[in-house]
Structures are given as C-alpha cells and as structure tokens.
Amino acid sequence: MPKPEIHFSPAFGMGFYIAEDGTLMSMPAVTDANGRTTMDIDNEIAVDEWDDPSVYSPSHMMVLTQIMQICTLKRDYVRIGYYAERFGSASKWMRIPTKKFSNFITKGTLTSST
C-alpha cells in the first residue's frame, strides 16, 4: 500500500495524515532557508496523544474536523488508485457495463444500454 498524502494546515502549522490503523497523525511543519515547507516526519504524533488540546479554540477544533475529512478523502483516493492499478484488469473478466455505470454516475439514472 502506498504512503498516505500529508495535508498541510497553516492554522496549526502542522501536517496531518491518517495512519494505516486509522489514527489521525500530526507532525510539525518546518520552513527551510529557501522558504519551502517540509514535514518533520521524525516527530510525528497521534492527535489523540497531544499533551493539552485545551489550548486550541473551538475554531481550531472545527478546522481539525475539516482536516480529518480531507485526510480521509486523501487516504481513500490513494487506496482507490492503488487497487485500480493492482486489479485494473479485473473489469475485463467481470464484464462491467461501463456505459450504463457511467450514465448512473453522471446523470444519476440507469439506462438499458450497455
């Protein structure tokens, strides 16, 4: 399985991702001499292990819920790409009616054509 994509949050000054076991992980962001922001993966910590979350405002907590949603979507996107690449030839022997399925996705209706 590929590594998850890290989401940078300027509000926290940290990067976030969801670990394989479903834990929301955080790590400090570091800006180098050239102004590039990188993540300090060596100092990652689970969000539920933060020392004192009470220092964050309710607005920060709302941002954190949005970060969790973004990280979930990123994780799922990476997994879908991984499985599509790994098992992409499965559609050939499964005989998936692609036109019918694409009509359902784009128009929300199933058609009788295949």
CA distance 79 to 41: 21
Q: What is the pLDDT of residue 114?
A: 47
Helix ranges (H only) for 30-108 are 58-87, 90-94, 98-107
Does a structural domain hold residue 87? yes
Q: What predicted TM-score, i.e. pTM, was given to this entire model?
A: 0.68
Tens-place pLDDT, residues 8-49 = 999 999 999 999 899 999 999 999 889 899 999 999 999 999
Q: What is the pLDDT of residue 81?
A: 75
Tally the domains of the chain. Answer: 1
Query: pLDDT over 70 for what percent of the chain?
Result: 74
For CA atoms 62, 66, 72, 78, give the dihedral sign. negative
Does a structural domain hold residue 113? no
Does a structural domain hold residue 80? yes
Residue 95: domain span: 7-107
Q: What is the pLDDT of residue 18?
A: 93
Does a structural domain hold residue 40? yes
Read off the pLDDT of each residue in 44-71 and give the average, rounded to a whole number.
93
Does a structural domain hold residue 39? yes
